[in-house]
Chains A and B, each alone.
Chain A
Amino acid sequence: MDFKNFSLNISQTKVNRFVDELSAGKFMATVCKKCGKNYYPPLADCSNCMQSDMEWKQISGEGTLVTFTKIHVPPEHFAVRQPLMPFSSIQFEPCPIGLLEVEGGLKIMGWIPKGDVKKIKVGMKMKASPFTLPDGKVTIILEPI
């Protein structure tokens, strides 16, 4: 799958597999075979030991919310009148986003659909899941557990 379906920006990277797995419902990190360092977002190269022998590893999306916000003044790309705004076809409200800390201290960014900022709390237990939008693009959502 074209990486742009996730990144909106660039088409090509060595970790294109990330979007294929995401669209198949899996969260993948990469692990350096030499030093064992885990990378999410998955990276093709290990800056810890300057080598590129990495393997893929599925990670659980369960974790703790470390912070969040709701962006009311969006970038051009996400202006509601444009179809690229995730959930724009579902809800005409900007959608909050959050940063979830999962296993090994890795942090996953995701949308919190229909989240009410007055009810979202740092420290909440949440689960990150892959999400396919009606237009075929893939993204990530965070939901309370």
Chain B
Amino acid sequence: MRKVAVVGIGHGKFGVRSDASLRELAFEAVKACLDDAGIPLKEVDSMVTGIAGDEFALGLQPSAQVHDYIGFHPKPNFRVEGACATGSIALRTGIMNVASGLADVVLVVGVEKMTEVPTSIATEIMGKAGDSIWEYPFGTTFPGYYALIANAHMAEYGTTEEQLAMVSVKNHYYGSLNPYAHMQKKITLEKALTSFTVAYPLKLYDCSLITDGAAAVIIASEERAKVISKKPVWIVGAGLATDTLRLGDRKSLTSILAAREAAKTAYKMAGVGPSDIDVATVHDCFTIAEIVAYEDLGFCEKGEGGKLIAAKETYVGGRIPVNVDGGLKSKGHPIGATGVSMAIEITKQLRGEAGERQVKNPEIGLAHNVGGTGQVVAVHIFRRE
């Protein structure tokens, strides 16, 4: 397999973007990404677009809108989807293109315009990313699925609502320092704990946001990366794993087994372990998901995730800083863009360009992106030279 590096990053402003359409959002990120890489679009061989929902885009083949709008004809574009892991699956597809030699330089774009539909419809669309036939008839929603996981985790390990809220306080704190974040607002523990219940025990501040936004990266082969970038960030580990569609068929409700599997593959490929990771972005679509991610990625023992956040070990300066870009919680979660945005944050951190949120001199970073209720998980490991 050929080596692959990130050579360009471009992040659009996340938020309720009533000023822009899907394709216009994507353009912002692509333009920023080309500027960062310092190459014209014609030097890109191929493109991968991650858009999770035709339902949000209100039509089939939404990636063609993006491909057309940036004027990438006649070169190829692949659209991928995997619910909330769409962005990381797009990245993986890009890596496959470069690693195989099919392309030398690939543009990976993730974008979603979620607020095109009202919250109740968005909730329905996402709820059906569980099993639309066997779970959805019970009114399941995404907060609902993760609430099922939260109650199981709380019953088994004594994880508390306060510990969940602490994840939110941390991620809002870092989101307040991230100019691209949807919600740049610090919050108190009390505010999180007294917010209204969305799906018991998860409250408003336990939930990620419904967000519009786009993110793009350019990845390249070793030969091209060395020419394009002074600070290439190498993708040294890539794991993708899957589990059952229905929560009820899972072997565990307190762990996302696909995440454990994907992490195992990525760690092995990179030749590193959890203690080697200097900075991570994990899939905090709900606060409980971040706590479960700490455990699944090996940042702490099973059941100790609540204690890890309570000890502030996942802040900058702690044992393993996590989601210091604000995470899905405060940066926002435009489904298709999220995985790409995670890769951007890790690249920034490894380049030393994260400003106020910078972790001290990191060498190895990890991104963990969960799709569905844990049906598909991608883990990537990045390393600077």
- For B121, the chain A residues whose CB sits under 8 A away are 75-76
Measured CA separation A9–B150 after assembly (Å): 27
A67 touches B132 (CB 8 A): no
A78-93 contact mask (Cβ, 8 Å, vs B): 1 or 0: 1100000110000000
Q: How many residues of B contact A (CB 8 A)?
A: 39
A122 touches B151 (CB 8 A): yes
Assuming the contacts A10-B133, A99-B247, asked whether A75 and B139 have C-beta atoms less than 8 A apart, the reply is yes
Measured CA separation A8–B120 after assembly (Å): 16
A8 touches B143 (CB 8 A): no
Stretch at the interface among B59-67, B196-204, B336-344: B196-204
- For B150, the chain A residues whose CB sits under 8 A away are 69
CB-nearest residue of chain B to A108: B248
Chosen A-B contacts, 16 in total, with CB atoms closer than 8 Å, are A7-B133, A9-B132, A9-B137, A10-B132, A69-B148, A69-B151, A69-B200, A73-B119, A75-B127, A75-B136, A76-B123, A77-B124, A77-B136, A108-B248, A122-B152, A139-B137
A75 touches B137 (CB 8 A): no
A69 touches B144 (CB 8 A): yes
B140 touches A76 (CB 8 A): no
Measured CA separation A114–B147 after assembly (Å): 19
Interface residues of A (CB under 8 A from B): 6-10, 13, 41, 66-79, 85-86, 94-97, 99, 107-111, 117, 121-123, 139-140
CB-nearest residue of chain B to A137: B137
B155 is an interface residue with CB less than 8 A from chain A: yes
B154-187 contact mask (Cβ, 8 Å, vs A): 1 or 0: 0110000000000000000000000000000000
- For A76, the chain B residues whose CB sits under 8 A away are 118, 120-121, 123-124
Among candidates B133, B151, B155, B199, residue contacting A72 with C-beta atoms closer than 8 Å: B199
Assuming the contacts A74-B139, A97-B144, A110-B138, asked whether A67 and B149 have C-beta atoms less than 8 A apart, the reply is yes
- For A123, the chain B residues whose CB sits under 8 A away are 155
B135 is an interface residue with CB less than 8 A from chain A: yes
CB proximity of A59 to chain B, nearest CB, Å = 14
A71 touches B133 (CB 8 A): no
CB proximity of A58 to chain B, nearest CB, Å = 18
